[in-house]
Structure 1
């Protein structure tokens, strides 16, 4: 039976994150020799080579090391939570949680969630990683991120997705566009017009698929990975876009005005979901965050449909 300690696990995870013995030793306030010995003993205990030593480049995790690092992070998170619970039985939940957020959700709703959550649970410290869908999923698979607020795009069977809100797609038009006064539009009417595509992994495929499902080919004129750049390009009359998120204001960063128009075609909406790896057990902190976000988004999503 392996009897490695939490200290050895923490040392291993720190070296994996830092990439060198020297950087890990500095973070852990230990000598390089002590850290190196701990890593060698830990590899002997688990019976695996966890790192590839690269002269002048430090250490890189082996495939086995990546799997062990994922499990080790989970064990350490549970150990930290257990310590908090044991030290404060009967008191409010507390501890640290790393949450990922899809980049477009961050300014539209996630900052509001964070502010409200901090006011409700001041003892919980949230660390945030913001990125596109590929970056979010990589963060979860590596163990850097424990849960993430994102869309139901590109999710494999290894992820558990808890639905939080459903957001219909809509057309975004410059204020002076001839179609901007309409209450609804068909994608067939928009397809010949110059399109400004929200160009992020999985996101671009979703928006294009709305047209392809109807046998249409959109006229993509510009692409951008920036949500606000898409809106600003539309505001300046360079085309239309299709989005699922409505900021509180219809004014773009440069002061131009845009209009949101509902679509008639019954196109597939996007679901906002909170995701985590199925193989990693949810901690009490994660469940607390999940329940709070669900309640928050019930009210927020109404403003997105109106």
Structure 2
């Protein structure tokens, strides 16, 4: 079997290409020039191609095949660097992967900016992102399916909670909805006659309990995205996160309701982890950055409505 090029040979190739000479590569790698020349000669012999033109030039020049192989060498050297960085991180206690459970009520700009920073800070750490709601976030953390959770916590939780900021919920309806045509504050007796759309907890943690539910007729859904679409279609009214509906309010696709028993409300948002398991370095860093980014968002949007200059970070319907 023909021997494969070694990492050392590829590093010599990269050094010669970068410095433009065998002597420069020797200085860069702290090797004798004869070792550099020997390494390139062996690599050419193994591959059966000439990588450098040496005759008629003052310094070695890459051949066309040499240029092509150089790109492969760079990729292979990069893979080895990532392997080394991953191993070094593991030896320092850094996780190989972090699993995060996210409630979609979290403002999208906060999520995107946090994950963008995470990718830069921990390039060797994998990420598993699970999207849930209400008690399902807690369940994923308690069961060990997620290292940390980010969400609002209904009722008691078997986790350590770290408050990271606030999320605003706003009662809204389509402009053609009967409630949108009433002059407020709309009393409870009128509110009860119109279908309310409610996101229900898929876990058993709040079984038998309702939050901010006022109507006699209730349609229960399992996700905020569907609720948003149905309210915009005029199928009912309900509360939605301010950041999600900011553009809808600006364009007149939704209107904020003036209700006697239910107005715009801010609720706490938490990071959480199991009480018997401390998060690793990358997970702990994520909690701190989520808190920082959500705090910045709350300062930029104290009413919870997405400012126009943050619009580019949000994927719309």
CA distance in 2, matches of 1:237, 1:299: 33
Query: Equivalent residue for 2:211?
Result: 209
- Is 1:230 aligned with 2:227? yes
User: Would the aligned equivalents of 1:94 and 1:124 in 2 still touch at CA under 8 Å?
Assistant: yes
**1:277 Cα deviation from its structure 2 partner:** 0.9
- For structure 2, the 5+ residue unaligned runs are 1-85, 306-317
Provide, for residues 37-65 of structure 1, a one-character-per-residue CA deviation record: whole Å limited to 9, x for no partner. Answer: xxxxxxxxxxxxxxxxxxxxxxxxxxxxx
- Is 1:273 aligned with 2:270? yes
CA distance in 1, matches of 2:289, 2:129: 16
- Structure in which a larger fraction of residues adopt strand: 1
Larger radius of gyration: 2
CA distance in 1, matches of 2:234, 2:255: 12
> Normalising by the residue count of structure 1, what TM-score does the alignment of the two structures yield?
0.56
**1:244 Cα deviation from its structure 2 partner:** 3.5
Does the C-alpha gap of structure 1 residues 182 and 283 become closer, same or farther in structure 2, counting only changes over 3 Å?
farther
- For structure 1, the 5+ residue unaligned runs are 1-80, 212-216
Query: Equivalent residue for 2:172?
Result: 172
User: Would the aligned equivalents of 1:207 and 1:242 in 2 still touch at CA under 8 Å?
Assistant: no
Of the structure 1 ranges 145-154 and 180-189, higher mean CA displacement relative to structure 2 is found in 180-189
Does the C-alpha gap of structure 1 residues 204 and 175 become closer, same or farther in structure 2, counting only changes over 3 Å?
farther
Provide, for residues 163-201 of structure 1, a one-character-per-residue CA deviation record: whole Å limited to 9, x for no partner. Answer: 112224321110234654889755625333221222234
Query: Equivalent residue for 2:138?
Result: 137
Query: Equivalent residue for 1:97?
Result: 98
- Is 1:147 aligned with 2:143? no
Does the C-alpha gap of structure 1 residues 87 and 305 become closer, same or farther in structure 2, counting only changes over 3 Å?
closer
- Is 1:294 aligned with 2:291? yes
CA distance in 1, matches of 2:269, 2:126: 23
Query: Equivalent residue for 2:282?
Result: 285
CA distance in 1, matches of 2:210, 2:135: 18
Provide, for residues 231-255 of structure 1, a one-character-per-residue CA deviation record: whole Å limited to 9, x for no partner. Answer: 2221122221123353165449xx9
Does the C-alpha gap of structure 1 residues 87 and 250 become closer, same or farther in structure 2, counting only changes over 3 Å?
closer
Partner secondary structure for residue 247 of structure 1: helix
